[in-house]
């Protein structure tokens, strides 16, 4: 069975959805480590409660991003991690890290990429007035919110939606979608249509 690590910086609702799916045997892989850059992340409490080892890498303790990423790679090797799942990890990974886990890093983003990259994707889509937005799961390359797409789910923005209801609908979609895609990825049953240019 493949082994994976989840990276999370904050609330960790996607991590929770993954943990819940694992408990129901809906993900055929082993979550062996939760990594954070923020020791106060609620995600770490969720991991602790589920009995999953955690480690925090404080960016302040490293001179460069590369130095931190090298330390993370070392830790992941210790845990024999096969692939990495970003779930609300708010830091950009350096090329050193991306190369070490080439095509083995998944990210979830709350928009239909390549639209609305960045940290405020749901609000940006809502404010723009688009009729449809959604969720993307993709492989991570060296650019931000970019890389070969594994799966997308679209949501219509309804006239009665507020930013809050849209956020809730997007998060529900994420929580259903991410564990399924992780399961398929772990089994080698999902591929990209083509590489994003
Ligand atoms: C999610 O919306 C995810 O798509 C984005 O960051 C958010 C993380 O939420 N990358 P949570 O920490 O999993 O609750």
Judge whether 32 lies within some domain: yes
| Tokens (6 digits) for 38 | 């923020």
- The reply to whether ligand 1 has any atom less than 6 angstroms from the CB of 174 is yes
Q: Say which CATH number the domain at 89 has.
A: 3.40.50.170
Half-sphere exposure of 193 (CA within 13 A, CB side): 6
Question: 55 is in which domain, residue-wise?
Answer: 2-108+168-186
Cα–Cα distance between 79 and 85 in angstroms, integer? 14
Report how far ligand 1's centroid is from the alpha carbon of 12 (Å): 7
Give the atom of ligand 1 at the shortest distance from the alpha carbon of 10: 12
Q: What is the pTM of this model?
A: 0.96
pLDDT tens over the chain, length 197 residues: 999 999 999 999 999 999 999 999 999 999 999 999 999 999 999 999 999 999 999 999 999 999 999 999 999 999 999 999 999 999 999 999 999 999 999 999 999 999 999 999 999 999 999 999 999 999 999 999 999 999 999 999 999 999 999 999 999 999 999 999 999 999 999 988 765 54
Residue 186, phi-psi category: left (phi > 0), alpha (psi -120 to 50), beta (remainder): alpha
145 domain-assigned: no
Tally of domains within the chain: 1
* CA 52/CA 34 separation, integer angstroms: 7
The pLDDT, as a whole number, for residue 29 is 98
What tokens appear for 74 in the block? Answer: 């070392």
Helix (H, G, I), strand (E, B) or coil at 172: helix
């Amino acid at each position: 069975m493949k082994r994976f690590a989840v990276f999370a910086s904050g609330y960790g609702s996607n991590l929770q959805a993954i943990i819940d799916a694992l408990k129901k045997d809906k993900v055929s892989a082993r979550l062996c480590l939760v990594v954070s850059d923020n020791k106060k992340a609620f995600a770490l409490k969720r991991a602790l409660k589920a009995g999953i080892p955690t480690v925090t890498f404080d960016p302040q303790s490293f001179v460069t991003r590369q130095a931190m990423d090298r330390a993370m790679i070392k830790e992941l090797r210790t845990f024999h991690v096969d692939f990495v799942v970003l779930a609300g990890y708010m830091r950009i990974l350096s090329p050193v890290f991306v190369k070490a886990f080439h095509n083995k890093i998944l990210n979830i983003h709350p928009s239909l990429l390549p639209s609305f990259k960045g940290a405020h994707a749901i609000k940006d889509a809502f404010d723009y007035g688009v009729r449809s937005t959604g969720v993307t799961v993709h492989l991570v390359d060296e650019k931000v919110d970019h890389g070969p797409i594994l799966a997308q789910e679209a949501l219509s923005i309804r006239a009665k939606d507020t930013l809050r209801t849209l956020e809730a609908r997007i998060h529900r979609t994420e929580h259903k979608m991410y564990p399924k895609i992780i399961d398929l990825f772990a089994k080698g049953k999902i591929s990209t249509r083509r590489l994003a240019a």
